[in-house]
Structure 1
Amino acid sequence: MQQVYACDPERIRGRRVAEEESAFRSCFQRDRDRIIHSSAFRRLKHKTQVFVEHEGDFYRTRLTHSIEVAQVARTIAGALGLNTDLTEAVALAHDLGHTPFGHTGEDALHALMAPYGGFDHNAQTIRIVTSLERHYAEFDGLNLTWETLEGIAKHNGPVTGDLPYALAEYDALHDLELHTHASAEAQVAALADDVAYNNHDIHDGLRAGLFSEDEIAELPVIGAAYAEVDRLYPELGAYRRRHEALRRVFGAMVSDVIDTSRAALDRADCADAQAIRELGRPVIAFSPVMTDYIRALRDFLFHKMYRAPSVMEQRARVTTVVNDLFPLYLQRSELLPRRWQAEIEAARDETDLARLVADYIAGMTDRFALQQHARLFGVDILHDAT
């Protein structure tokens, strides 16, 4: 049963451009479907999660990660009586603004964009869904509901201080109330992201040989999960043993969020979704014990995986790709596709041009960025000897 504090599709704040709603889908289902059918969503299949996309078929990409986040988010939202369609829409959209090469590409592009307002992947997501997707006759972007846009913009909490330019520009046109928390649905999407990437990074790190099962079994929740599997299935093969243990870790995180958040929602006693936003604190959270475990896991993954020598070597190589492409496109904007030329000609100054170049590079997949770099610089950055 949907709770009173859930976002009600019959009481939305509307879309920036008014349009007739579907007779067969709620407004949040329609938002979700527009996100799934967007060009930016399709490109996520060839964008890095941790490992560069070409390194193996089994590693997560931004697309598989987003699908996993959406599955976890729907489960949590359903258990808490929230609107699962809005939760899923925010979860599916949350990484649309990521550059090629994951956070490595984002760090490089942010540094290059420092003179022009910086770069932030979350703000870039708003830019994509409100402007850069251009398929509809009556508007740029996807014309999502206010509730979905709000959830994308601040699912990680209020956005205050100096706003990224891509977010500031849109917020000036369509106030997303960035100073408040987002709906409970968007908060669920944020924690589902934590659940998904912590768990799948363990899987991917083990598959890549960056650490062993004996090492991760020293972490409290993981160690207990392996011990339970060994007790129940003492003769289980190694691969099934791993899966059985890690699915228990996954389940423990999800159960913890549901139990902790249900208690927090009961204490808050909010009468509607707006009361959730104005509460001044998040209502979706892990317990203190699980928070400590996740902190230990992140520290482990940071040292053993994200800063592993092989990963750092690839990070350095793909940083070179972004560092080379950006100034070249800025100096020779005629190299950008023909359909970008009208906007390039309309650019008022170097800042406008730099932001167009950032849009173009941020939209690249890993493989396209590597192909363009090889074509323009004559170097296979991942394979050529240096």
Structure 2
Amino acid sequence: MPTEDDSNVYAVRRYGRPLDADPRSAFERDRDRILYSSAFRRLAGVTQVAAVREHHLLHNRLTHSLKVAQVGRRMAQRLCKDYRDFAKEVPGGRAGWPDIVESAGLAHDIGHPPFGHTAETVLNKKMSPYGGFEGNAQTFRVLTKLAVHAHVDHGLNLTRATLNAVLKYPRYEGEEVSESADRDWPFRKRGSKWGVYRSEEQDFSFAREGEGGSGRRSLAAVLMDWADDVSYVTHDLYDYFRGGLMPLHSLQNECPDEFLEFARARRKGEKYKRFDEEVFKRQYRELKRLMPDRGWRDTRDDRKILDRFQHELLGFFFNSVSVEQGEDGWEVCIDEIAEYQVEVIKELTFFYVIRRPSLAMVQRGQREIVARLFDDLMEMFGRHRNGKRDPDHPVPALLDDIYDGMERHEKVSGFTRSHEERRARAVCDYICALTEDQAINLYERLSGNSVSQGSIFGTWF
């Protein structure tokens, strides 16, 4: 007999389910479908901050996603254990909710293009006449349309609860939201961006059924978002201290003026009006107390010291999560001090790593690659679909398949695009299905130019 519970509204799937005797729960199936998808496996070839082919052993999007999933699952398990009334009411219950949070952690970056955020800016500009581009919206599109599962034509056919948990920004571009106080830093209840394309309206409505159009994240999405930040800041410190880019051992007890001015400039605007700079500086000093007291030499003792530092950070962030019952039901709450510590580490990463000229140079080249790929594929695909096939510039089979899939889905869903809009979205989807090595290789084939592998480390300028 099938084990999935059709009476559980959170376990319902968009396209039903096969009738089999699989012993896994609906949410365990979700986790496994994501883990075994080629869209997830591709993340091994997508950058986190520095290029995936650096000689230093750094995190990529795959290892980052695995850690987000693990941290999120453990937090969910602890909350279900410590708050029994909460565990009875949360989607999936005590047994299923950790699976939902873990699945969201595995999937949360699955739509990121090659070269990460720097490519997002290019694709958003190129796609501005055609509905825009946003990495989180692309993640939802991959899960509901582009990823492949044997039993459905569109996406992985995940449960309502898992799809809702992936939605870090559950609204369309330009959509206004109420409750402006929720939009102030630190954004946990709602987020500050948009994260769904209009073409996924039916899937979005399915995932958000019962949410009342509030634009607020689900409880699992809040926890996944916190796990994302926690994983990001802890392995950033680990990677860039070992790589010699972030001098944790030599930072002063007080915030250096240059760093403070840099951080202050990045927090301009109304959304940071609740941010307290004095608390920020105090948490800088508190983090300094935990930091390694000597430079990295790659010895066993060095690894123990750094591992202890990371362990203390993770333990603090892990225990900073609680739940409470408010007027609108249960809420996941993050300790304010933990939020400030995460903010300090994010600013340290930007100050010492992301603003480096070597990384900026590499990212400029990456943007050129993505822009050229988009323009060339648009031109080639236009000729291809207009019957003017050029044997010297064949169109990749996957690009053809993505376009045909959109046509088939539009006949069923009622959502319509012009040929130009469909062509642009197909090209964008195709680029987002590439690893960085594949993108570089395709660029070299189309342009005739050879690309050196830029590095954030050891540059001469």
Q: TM-score, normalised by structure 2?
A: 0.71
Residue of structure 2 equivalent to 1:248: 312
Structure 1 residue 288 displacement after superposition: 1.8
- Contact 2:122 2:367 (8 Å CA) reproduced: yes
Residue of structure 1 equivalent to 2:400: 341
CA–CA distance in 1 between the matches of 2:318 and 2:440? Answer: 37
Q: Secondary structure at the match of 1:202?
A: helix
- Alignment partner of 1:374 is 2:444: yes
Alignment equivalent of 1:11, drawn from 8, 13, 35: 8
Residue of structure 1 equivalent to 2:199: 169
Matches within 5 A, 1:64-213: 64-81=63-80, 83-153=97-167, 155-156=168-169, 158-159=170-171, 162=174, 167-172=197-202, 175=205, 176-177=207-208, 179-213=214-248
Letter in 2 for 1:109: L
Structure 1 residue 338 displacement after superposition: 2.2
CA–CA distance in 1 between the matches of 2:453 and 2:59? Answer: 22
Unaligned runs of 5+ in 2: 81-93, 176-193, 254-283, 385-393, 408-416, 455-461
Residue of structure 2 equivalent to 1:44: 43
- Contact 2:144 2:203 (8 Å CA) reproduced: no
Structure 1 residue 246 displacement after superposition: 2.3
Change (3 A) 1:236 1:152: closer
Change (3 A) 1:161 1:108: closer
After superposition, what is the alpha-carbon deviation per residue over 1:303-344, rounded to whole angstroms, capped at 9, x for unaligned?
A: 211111221111111111101110000011144312432554
Residue of structure 2 equivalent to 1:285: 333
Structure 1 residue 204 displacement after superposition: 1.5
Structure 1 residue 299 displacement after superposition: 1.5
CA–CA distance in 2 between the matches of 1:145 and 1:117? Answer: 26
CA–CA distance in 1 between the matches of 2:289 and 2:6? Answer: 42
- Contact 1:9 1:26 (8 Å CA) reproduced: no
Question: Which piece of structure 1 moves more, 207-216 or 51-60?
Answer: 207-216
- Contact 1:9 1:28 (8 Å CA) reproduced: no
Structure 1 residue 93 displacement after superposition: 0.6
**Which has more helix, going by share of residues?**
1
- Contact 2:399 2:427 (8 Å CA) reproduced: no
Residue of structure 1 equivalent to 2:266: none
After superposition, what is the alpha-carbon deviation per residue over 1:333-375, rounded to whole angstroms, capped at 9, x for unaligned?
A: 1443124325547684211100000000011111111111112
Letter in 2 for 1:196: S
- Contact 1:86 1:148 (8 Å CA) reproduced: yes
Residue of structure 2 equivalent to 1:364: 434
Residue of structure 1 equivalent to 2:326: 268
Unaligned runs of 5+ in 1: 1-7, 277-282
Change (3 A) 1:245 1:341: closer
Letter in 1 for 2:334: F
Change (3 A) 1:251 1:21: farther
Alignment equivalent of 2:285, drawn from 220, 243, 249: 220
Q: Secondary structure at the match of 1:98?
A: coil
Structure 1 residue 131 displacement after superposition: 1.1
Q: TM-score, normalised by structure 1?
A: 0.83
Change (3 A) 1:383 1:38: closer
Letter in 1 for 2:122: A
CA–CA distance in 2 between the matches of 1:313 and 1:77? Answer: 40
- Bigger radius of gyration among the two: 2
CA–CA distance in 2 between the matches of 1:305 and 1:22? Answer: 51
Letter in 1 for 2:285: P
Q: Secondary structure at the match of 2:319?
A: helix
CA–CA distance in 2 between the matches of 1:21 and 1:162? Answer: 43
Residue of structure 2 equivalent to 1:239: 303
Question: Which piece of structure 1 moves more, 341-350 or 30-39?
Answer: 341-350
Q: CA RMSD in A?
A: 2.7
- Alignment partner of 1:353 is 2:418: no
Change (3 A) 1:185 1:342: closer
Structure 1 residue 113 displacement after superposition: 1.1
Q: Secondary structure at the match of 1:237?
A: helix
- Contact 1:97 1:128 (8 Å CA) reproduced: yes
CA–CA distance in 2 between the matches of 1:180 and 1:55? Answer: 39
Residue of structure 2 equivalent to 1:63: 62
Residue of structure 2 equivalent to 1:280: none
CA–CA distance in 1 between the matches of 2:103 and 2:47? Answer: 21
Structure 1 residue 179 displacement after superposition: 2.8
- Contact 2:172 2:197 (8 Å CA) reproduced: no
CA–CA distance in 1 between the matches of 2:154 and 2:173? Answer: 28
Task: Name which structure has the greater RCO, CA cutoff 8 Å, separation 6+.
Answer: 1
Residue of structure 2 equivalent to 1:311: 359
CA–CA distance in 1 between the matches of 2:359 and 2:433? Answer: 23
Structure 1 residue 268 displacement after superposition: 2.7
Letter in 2 for 1:50: V
Residue of structure 1 equivalent to 2:268: none
Q: Secondary structure at the match of 2:361?
A: helix
Question: Which piece of structure 1 moves more, 128-137 or 162-171?
Answer: 162-171
Question: Which piece of structure 1 moves more, 199-208 or 37-46?
Answer: 199-208
Identical counterparts, % of pairs: 31
